[in-house]
């Protein structure tokens, strides 16, 4: 493990142990980072089981929705966390209940439903950032999916820093979502109000919130700049043209990349790799993999100049469904020689 990362983890653990010792005689404690993480893992398992059970009777529906079914999982996750962590669920999801945790406001009262939903929405963007990008492009047709992914990914990174990495170092183990919702996660009963007040620094909390807002603004600006550079680069423009052709052929959530691998003692191998979701036919059955793969390979060949340095053309297409909390995919990988058209690699994988 990298020494810097190990040192950060050791400091977080030491801080958590000191605070646990300080609250040993109190009726309740501030929940530490690791036990909160454990509760989140338990909740993920619960939601996975719910998704799997739903997929048994609703598989045909989910396969018709394909990757748009992710909004089903988003709604379930929002309802699960939003309702159970509010006053209607006594401030605890099943994972938190199993570990004796509860989400409350700083005065010990439970959250209202709207406040709880807003709190989860910040965390939900980390898990469902792809769905958010997909929804934005669907609503605002003039937006480019790749550009939106850059911006949403940047904002999600800022939320990860604020909602996850801030928690172990905050005196009350509060993340950005806790600061904005005015909440704290406790273990057992409510800690002594004097203990809470002594470790509440509103100025530092505001700095975290403002810093996150500034970083999110920078992320959005950086995404816009990168998108502009992509649009002005002939090489990247040709990749975007290939992606557009893939979408017209019926693929969704398309990705296109150019990779270079340097072999020991040999020349570099340049590969153009495409990926995307291939929906099943309306009447059911398997999609026409061969047509999609051959059309992609031909599109890339037509887009490449005669003196192109591309050595291989590859595709990773998938079909099935993804509801966020559970997914079932069949994926096929093909790699061809860009000069001769010879098939170099072919494989099929299944993911759940």
In order, the DSSP letters of 157-198 are HHHHIIIIISGGGSTT---HHHHHHTEEEEEESPPPHHHHHH
Buried b (16+ CB within 10 A) or exposed e, 241-260: ebbebbeeeebebbbbeeee
pLDDT of residue 23: 45
In this prediction, residues 293-298 reach a mean pLDDT of 86
Q: What is the rounded average pLDDT for all residues in the chain?
A: 84
**CA 40 distance to own-chain centroid:** 15
Token representation of residue 46: 């619960």
Domain extent listing, the chain: 16-230, 234-351
Model-level pTM?
Answer: 0.82
Distance (Å, whole) CA 228 – CA 285: 41
The number of helices, as runs of H, and strands, as runs of E, in the chain is: 12, 8
- What pLDDT digit, counting tens, does each position of 186-218 carry? 998 889 888 888 899 999 999 999 999 998 888
pLDDT of residue 78: 94
pLDDT of residue 5: 56
Distance (Å, whole) CA 346 – CA 191: 59
Token representation of residue 218: 């920078």
pLDDT of residue 37: 93
Tell me the pLDDT band of 168, cut-offs 50, 70 and 90: very high
């Amino acid at each position: 493990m990298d020494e810097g990362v190990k040192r950060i983890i050791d400091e977080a653990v030491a801080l958590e142990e000191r605070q646990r010792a300080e609250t040993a005689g109190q009726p309740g404690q501030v929940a530490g980072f690791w036990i909160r993480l454990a509760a989140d893992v338990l909740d993920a398992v619960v939601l996975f089981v719910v998704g799997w059970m739903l997929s048994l009777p609703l598989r045909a529906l989910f396969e018709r929705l394909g990757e748009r079914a992710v909004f089903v999982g988003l709604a379930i996750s929002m309802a699960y966390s939003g309702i159970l962590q509010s006053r209607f669920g006594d401030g605890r999801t099943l994972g938190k209940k199993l570990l004796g945790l509860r989400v409350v406001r700083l005065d010990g009262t439970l959250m209202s439903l709207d406040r709880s939903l807003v709190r989860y929405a910040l965390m939900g963007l980390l898990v469902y950032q792809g769905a958010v990008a997909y929804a934005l492009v669907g609503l605002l047709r003039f937006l480019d999916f790749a550009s939106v992914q850059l911006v949403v990914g940047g904002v999600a990174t800022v939320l990860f820093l604020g909602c996850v990495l801030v928690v172990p170092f905050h005196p009350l183990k509060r993340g950005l979502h806790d600061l904005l919702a005015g909440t704290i996660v406790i273990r057992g009963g409510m800690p002594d109000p004097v203990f809470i007040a002594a470790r509440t620094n509103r100025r530092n909390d505001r700095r975290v919130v403002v810093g996150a807002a500034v970083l999110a603004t920078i992320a959005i600006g950086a995404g816009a700049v990168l998108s502009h550079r992509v649009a002005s680069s002939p090489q990247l423009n040709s990749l975007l043209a290939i992606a557009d052709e893939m979408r017209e052929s019926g693929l969704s959530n398309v990705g296109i990349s150019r990779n270079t691998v340097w072999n020991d003692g040999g020349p570099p191998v340049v590969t153009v790799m495409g990926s995307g979701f291939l929906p099943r036919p309306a009447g059911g059955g398997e999609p026409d993999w061969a047509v999609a793969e051959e059309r992609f390979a031909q599109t890339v060949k037509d887009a490449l100049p005669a003196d192109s340095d591309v050595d291989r053309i590859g595709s990773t297409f998938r079909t099935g469904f993804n509801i966020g909390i559970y997914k079932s995919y069949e994926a096929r990988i093909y790699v061809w020689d860009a000069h001769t058209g010879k098939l170099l690699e072919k494989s099929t994988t299944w993911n759940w």
